[in-house]
Amino acid sequence: MGLQEADVDRIATQFVEARRAAKALDAFPGALPATLTDAYRVQERAIALSGRAVAGWKVAGIRPDLRDSLGANRLAGPILAGSVLRLPNGGTAQAPVFAGGFAALEAEFVAVFAHDLRPVDGAFTAESIAAALSGLHAGAEIASSPLATLNDLGPTAVVSDHGNNAGAVVGPEVAGWREADLGALTSRMSINGSVVGEGSAANVMGGPVAALQFLAEHLATRGRHLRAGDIVLTGMTTGIHQVVPGDRGRIEFSSAPACDIEVLGATPTGL
């Protein structure tokens, strides 16, 4: 039996209230959803309760050993309006995370949509997806939750709390991304001056466009679609790099100026 509506509401409400208050949670607020279907019910309720528009989405891989039981190899979460930090020419952004909760930076390629994405003959193709984009950018996910153990609890927990997202950094467009081999689109993350991970677009399962295809198909099951102006974090390329307020990250992508990220403690929003 899936979660009752009262359970969905209770979990979503407690996550949204904890985020508004910038207050850490000691435990998952209720019964952990057993399925992604129930977890996305919680996510949709949390989006509604937040009172904020969706500015885009994050996509993340699901551990291989959990894919069969959950029926998916990726998951999605919302990026809410007001949490997108844009550095079109490189530079420095200040990223708030939940002190006492989970916090990490992840170097990711960020897709920016120029047009609404609609299926062609009932399907989303790599060609139609690429044609809908204005660009593929250097970027980073600000992954953070009021619950420190969120990732440890698994994908249904992550989905329930906004996909473990607290924002996105959208850096400069990566030159030549439409023609380049995935392995040539390189990325690097440093924390406090030390390199902690290197990778490329090839580290994203099937590449960034495959992540966008998953997302488009997934959103269609929720009565949603990708819209002009949406941004999408397509998946980590160098790993999950945990941080605390006071840390400083740097992302470096091929053919793009570097971006620095100052990690701050989140403050109550009053929203």
pLDDT, mean of residues 54-82: 98
Percent of the chain with pLDDT over 70: 99
Q: Which CATH superfamily is domain 5-265 in?
A: Fumarylacetoacetase-like, C-terminal domain (3.90.850.10)
Asked if 129 contacts 117 with a C-beta cutoff of 8 angstroms, the reply is yes
223: buried, middle or exposed (CB in 10 Å: 19+, 13-18, 0-12)? exposed
| Sequence ranges of the domains in the chain | 5-265
pLDDT of residue 270: 61
pLDDT at 203 over 80: yes
- 82-117 pLDDT, tens digit per residue, is 999 999 999 999 999 999 999 999 999 999 999 999
What length does the chain have?
A: 271
The pair phi, psi for residue 157, each rounded to 5°, is -70, -45
Instruction: Provide CB contacts within 8 A for 212, sequence distance 6+.
Output: 59, 111, 129, 226, 232, 234
- 127-184 pLDDT, tens digit per residue, is 999 999 999 999 999 999 999 999 999 999 999 999 999 999 999 999 999 999 999 9
pLDDT at 51 over 70: yes
- 153-165 pLDDT, tens digit per residue, is 999 999 999 999 9
Residue type, position 84, single letter: V
Residue of 254, 268, 261, 225 lying closest to 103 (CA atoms) = 261
With cut-offs at 50, 70 and 90, classify the pLDDT of residue 255.
confident
pLDDT at 271 over 60: no
- 231-245 pLDDT, tens digit per residue, is 999 999 999 999 999
Q: Would you say the pTM of this structure is higher than 0.95? A: yes
Averaged confidence pLDDT in the chain: 97
pLDDT at 187 over 60: yes
Residue 169 to residue 138: CA distance in whole angstroms: 8
pLDDT at 42 over 90: yes
